[in-house]
Structure 1
Amino acid sequence: MAGDVNAVKPSGAGTADREQVPGNVLVSIGALLLGMLLAALDQTIVSTALPTIVSDLGGLDHLSWVVTAYLLAATAATPLWGKLGDQYGRKRLFQTAIVIFLIGSALCGAAQDMGQLIAFRALQGLGGGGLIVLSMAIVGDLVPPRERGRYQGLFGAVFGATSVLGPLLGGVLTQHASWRWVFYINLPVGVVALAVIAAVLHIPRNRQRHVIDYLGTFLIAAVATCLVLVASLGGTTWAWGSPQIIGLAVLGVLLACAFVAVERRAAEPVLPLKLFKVRTFTLSAVISFVVGFAMFGAMTYLPTFLQVVHGISPTLSGVHMLPMVVGLLLASTTSGQIVSRTGRWKVFPIAGTGITALGLLLLHQLDEHSSTAELSGFFFVFGLGLGLVMQVLVLIVQNAVPYEDLGVATSGATFFRSIGASFGVAVFGTVFAGRLGDLLGDAFRGTPLPAGVSPGSLEADPRGIAALPPGLRPAALHAYAVAITDVFLYAAPVALLGFVLAWFLKEDRLRASVTAPDISETLASNPVERSSYDEVCRALSVLGTRAGRREIYRDITERAGYDLLPAASWLLLRIRRYGAVEPVALAERMPVPLSVVMEAVRQVEERRLAVREGVDLVLTDQGRAHAERLAEAREESLAELLGDWWGPDRPTDLVALVRELNGELCGSRNDRPREVRQPEQRSEQPV
């Protein structure tokens, strides 16, 4: 954070401040990005291929499980990947996750029926959960805290890019190659990532012992699976009052009770029950469920509406989905930044859930005659509503819990969004399949159809519509249009429930260190598991980037009660840490213009805060007193950012983080002068 004190050096000037990450580490981060790309892409790339997959393999009533199987497996595996990586080494686990993901991808591409595809998607999701969790964790192993936010921001950018490119790429591959290439495309990318990781990734050994909650993980996955099975099979495969559905519901309740009992005694519970005593967390969890329910349900069935009802190609269906994605990304980014800067957040979950409900009602109005402008406008409104609430939910959960629960609360909020997504896709599928069968039966009752065509065959394969006489096609298209858009009508009350609950959120004052989460925490379909230390590390580094280094030193100077230039304060603290600095050499090593350095030198010399000893500057007694006060102000500033987390019983890992950041505020180790005189260790001490 030493650079950029008074001004930014022109491009091409000294870059030592950014050269502390070695080249092989940058290559490793590139390979991690490829791994993240694979997992993120498979959350969205399948949506535009689903209509073609169903036409090829059949099983329209099980379409939702192609998405749900991946979501459930990835969600259930996430906490295990994180803790196993801590315990046995992340490199080996990351390679294992890539291999599992690639095997799942190859098998998905070779699937011969819907049952095989669903099973192989679950295997793929198992590996995908590990790719997301471990790639983010390995970045924390490779780069220091002050750089972490910048590199983790790259992973957020990957999520943002795949949200836009996923549906497009899925459509292009489906239309011009085969839907199987939606899965096969992962293989060359994954092999490259695997080879690079094996060759260049070297992670410091820092293993931690965990008591892994295997039973709790199994039980919560089993409860979620029972819920989704009830939602997807009830009313279609089996009647709602059938012994099978009742049995699944009872089993789900019993497993939920067992989960509560296990979590009460678990040493490291996968979802600590004490979090539900925090009202903000409980309400946010329910609203997150609602957001996942609406978002993934719509993203799964809108491409079917576009391709079947409007006859749009798979590629163009991805293009038509862009207004929704743009609205989501725009609102998500903007709302997160506004909340971080103003500290006011309650309006966003209220507005977001309200606009999402409005968007669902608008989507219900669509039919086979809707114009492209109407489609784009309604999609944009729906995406805007989702975006307004998604980032803010993660942020307010982080603000509501104590430090020791920060990491698990963050993943808990996204966990409920993942379960909501699985449940939403299943419910949407049940409503769609049930309505479509009824509507097609009503439309063609008593109407003679061509040989081999029946309402049942039209329901199983939408390509059969092309075999109908021209006069009968509109009725079939209308049945599909109503069946899909009725899904959005059924989802609207769920969004309205989120709107009502949002009014009961208590707008607590934000800690200064709670900043907008990166996009990976916002858009990931499965939880992004990080420790409390990782979350604070990310928050403080992001805050430093946002505020700007000049503002940091201005704040330190004002807090100390001096009228020095920000660069002069930085210079005094640097001399205090290293004993002496050579101004010209310092400007060569740092991304700070020589003119700014010399202006700071002139000020500290005129005020007799530092004097020359040869080519070096050293502190006078008065300068040392100023530097001591500035150091105290810097520590006070960090402590203020951490708020009540920096209490009398603050944990040792938080103390270590503040110590490390305190030292790095003067510059990285690579910027250290060749000769160090009278080193002051006190600068490394926290408050």
Structure 2
Amino acid sequence: MSATEDLAIADRAAAPPAAKGAGLTLAVVLLAVFVVPSSISGTAVALPAMGAELDSGAAGLQWVVNAFNLAFACCTLAWGSIADLIGRGKAFAIGAGLYLLASVASAVGTNIYLIDAARALAGIGGAAIFASGGAIISTVFTGAARARAFGLFGTVAGVGVALGPSLSGAIVDTLGWRWIFGVHVLALTLALLGSPAVFRAVGDQRRAGRVDTVGTALFILAMLSLMTGIVQGGEWGFASPAVLGFFTGFLVLLGAFVVVQQRVAQPMLDLSVLRDRRFVGLCLVTVVASFGFVTMLTYLPSYLTTVGGRSTATAGVLMVLLTLGVLVCPLLAGKLVAKGVPPRTVIYVSLACLVVGDATALVFGPSFSVAVVAVPLLLIGAGMGLSAGLVDGQALDAVPAEKAGMAAGLLNTVRLGSEAIAVAVYGALLAGLLRGALADGLAAHTAADPARVAGDLATGNLTAAAQGGGAELTGFLVSSYDGAFHTILMVLTGVCLVLSLVVVILLRTPAKQLTPAR
């Protein structure tokens, strides 16, 4: 540990106590924060019941999820900058209010397109909650209390992701799908009632200036173009003219955004933060977690049922091994830092867990014991959990206090954008590898259309893929899926290893002094 880190730890230990009302403020922020990831992971459970009641097609239902994710990704950075200008407490309350209104509209909606629009509004509100929530914690807490608070932040977000599907499933089975959004209304009403405590604890943390409307519009349009290309790439093909057009539009708009940010007096994104290698390295930690953890969280259940032959219920139980670390390790990371372990060391351990966990997941196969697969799943979960929350706190420590909202917005934009990209890359690789495998050997087992069979198998629907064939066809399909899964695991391990080495280099490089606030 360097002398600089020693001084930093000593300074944090000697920092003044948290602001008055910090406990209530933290509870209010965490309540709202829990709603966002639980909604992201849990809303999909309601789609079948929603489609049956509203007589909706697949496209309309899919945008219940996509509209939220797109709006969230597009608006997080913008809300971070806005929070610095209007006040983090006000931005948090506005976000919670928008989310509440959107949840009411979703709960009472009688048309799938109205619900799609409401979910987009919820994504805008969720972006404000996440961008301002981290900045509020950074403002209210100091020293060891801040480490513990960000540990709770990471834990609550992880609990929301992990428990969202099961909680939503229970609500759908007992009360109906509309009550998923009804629960959000109740939680956010409580958060709004507690928002005066947030205002008192945060105080007036605004910086002078006005919203960079041109830069904000360019960034939102750029992210919208990128995310739409990613979302539609799986359906239209990533080499299709429309998808390539979206990606080209993203590059053009991003270039225009960078030019504008360099020329305006009060930019939405102060590009000086990107000259701080430590901050960039911490942002990249979330990218490693996206490729190493989020992809497994999304696609492992299909592997367990398709190749492992497990029931959906059993696969759900096994997934607890993956999410356990997300529930436990954020608080553990906070305690380790509070006891003097350098945050950088904890982050290195988290990266190692992700790389080793993905590599050892190669032991998965058609026949496996729970004891064997528990090791890689626990390692991957620990890798995600040790960095969740801790990275947020360290990243906000790396920037001036008046830019905390913008930095939180940028961090969460990188996090969510990389998750979407990682999941899309996994899906594209899986589909491509399966098409290649089936093109070579499917004709020996059935005369079925290879494209149709590959599509069914890629979604984990082995029954539909093997329709009209016997045991030999089923065995061939299982073997093809297993081979594709292992190839993708090797790719993911390589990506995580390379990114981890980049993070180590960036975090070991002395940070540059940031440009003072204008």
TM-score range, shorter chain: 0.7 to 0.9
Q: Determine if the alignment matches structure 1 residue 37 to structure 2 residue 34.
A: yes
Q: Write the distance in 2 (CA, Å) between the matches of 1:394 and 1:36.
A: 14
Question: Alignment length, in residue pairs?
Answer: 483
- Greater Cα shift, 347-356 or 116-125: 116-125
Contact 1:350/1:503, CA 8 A, preserved across alignment: yes
- SS where residue 185 of structure 1 aligns? helix
Q: Determine if the alignment matches structure 1 residue 366 to structure 2 residue 361.
A: no
Contact 2:70/2:227, CA 8 A, preserved across alignment: no
Q: Write the distance in 2 (CA, Å) between the matches of 1:31 and 1:399.
A: 22
Equivalent residues in 2 for 1:127-142 (5 A)?
127-133=125-131
Seen in structure 2, the aligned counterparts of structure 1 residues 207 and 402 have a Cα distance that, compared at 3 Å, is: closer
- SS where residue 427 of structure 1 aligns? helix
Letter in 1 for 2:383: G
- Residue aligning to 1:218: 217
Contact 1:47/1:303, CA 8 A, preserved across alignment: no
Seen in structure 2, the aligned counterparts of structure 1 residues 361 and 172 have a Cα distance that, compared at 3 Å, is: farther
Equivalent residues in 2 for 1:11-410 (5 A)?
34-46=31-43, 65=66, 68-69=69-70, 71-73=72-74, 75-76=76-77, 78-79=79-80, 82=83, 86=87, 89=90, 93-94=94-95, 96-103=97-104, 105-106=106-107, 111=112, 121-133=119-131, 158-170=156-168, 172=170, 176=173, 181=177, 184-191=179-186, 193-194=188-189, 197=192, 208=206, 210-231=209-230, 237-238=236-237, 240=239, 242-342=240-340, 344-410=342-408
CA deviation string 1:245-268 (max 9, x = no partner): 443333222212111112123444
- SS where residue 367 of structure 1 aligns? coil
Q: Determine if the alignment matches structure 1 residue 487 to structure 2 residue 488.
A: yes
CA deviation string 1:456-505 (max 9, x = no partner): 66346715257555513333333444444443332222211122213313
Letter in 2 for 1:96: G
Contact 1:48/1:318, CA 8 A, preserved across alignment: no
Match of 1:434 among 415, 432, 435: 432
- Residue aligning to 1:584: none
- Identical aligned residues as a percent: 22
- Greater Cα shift, 364-373 or 196-205: 196-205
Q: Write the distance in 2 (CA, Å) between the matches of 1:399 and 1:83.
A: 15
Q: Write the distance in 1 (CA, Å) between the matches of 2:402 and 2:242.
A: 42
Contact 1:36/1:158, CA 8 A, preserved across alignment: yes
TM value normalised by structure 2: 0.73
Q: Write the distance in 1 (CA, Å) between the matches of 2:293 and 2:310.
A: 22
- SS where residue 128 of structure 1 aligns? helix
Q: Write the distance in 2 (CA, Å) between the matches of 1:198 and 1:395.
A: 26
Look at both structures and tell me which one has the larger radius of gyration over its CA atoms: 1
Q: Write the distance in 2 (CA, Å) between the matches of 1:51 and 1:480.
A: 26
- Residue aligning to 1:538: none
- Residue aligning to 2:4: none
Q: Write the distance in 2 (CA, Å) between the matches of 1:147 and 1:346.
A: 15
Contact 2:287/2:415, CA 8 A, preserved across alignment: yes
- SS where residue 87 of structure 2 aligns? helix
Letter in 2 for 1:36: V
Q: Write the distance in 2 (CA, Å) between the matches of 1:198 and 1:184.
A: 21
CA deviation string 1:621-643 (max 9, x = no partner): xxxxxxxxxxxxxxxxxxxxxxx
Q: For structure 1, list consecutive stretches of 5 or more residues without a partner in the other structure.
A: 1-16, 511-643, 652-687
Contact 1:232/1:429, CA 8 A, preserved across alignment: no
- Residue aligning to 1:504: 505
CA deviation string 1:107-145 (max 9, x = no partner): 899749xxx98776544322222344556778899x999
Contact 2:159/2:327, CA 8 A, preserved across alignment: no
Letter in 2 for 1:353: L
Deviation at 1:67, TM superposition (A): 8.0
Seen in structure 2, the aligned counterparts of structure 1 residues 125 and 402 have a Cα distance that, compared at 3 Å, is: closer
Seen in structure 2, the aligned counterparts of structure 1 residues 344 and 38 have a Cα distance that, compared at 3 Å, is: closer
CA RMSD of aligned residues (A): 4.9
Q: Write the distance in 2 (CA, Å) between the matches of 1:474 and 1:406.
A: 54
Contact 1:81/1:134, CA 8 A, preserved across alignment: no
- Residue aligning to 2:6: none
Contact 2:154/2:385, CA 8 A, preserved across alignment: no
Q: Write the distance in 1 (CA, Å) between the matches of 2:290 and 2:212.
A: 25
Deviation at 1:187, TM superposition (A): 1.4
Deviation at 1:102, TM superposition (A): 0.4
- Residue aligning to 2:11: none
Q: For structure 2, list consecutive stretches of 5 or more residues without a partner in the other structure.
A: 1-16
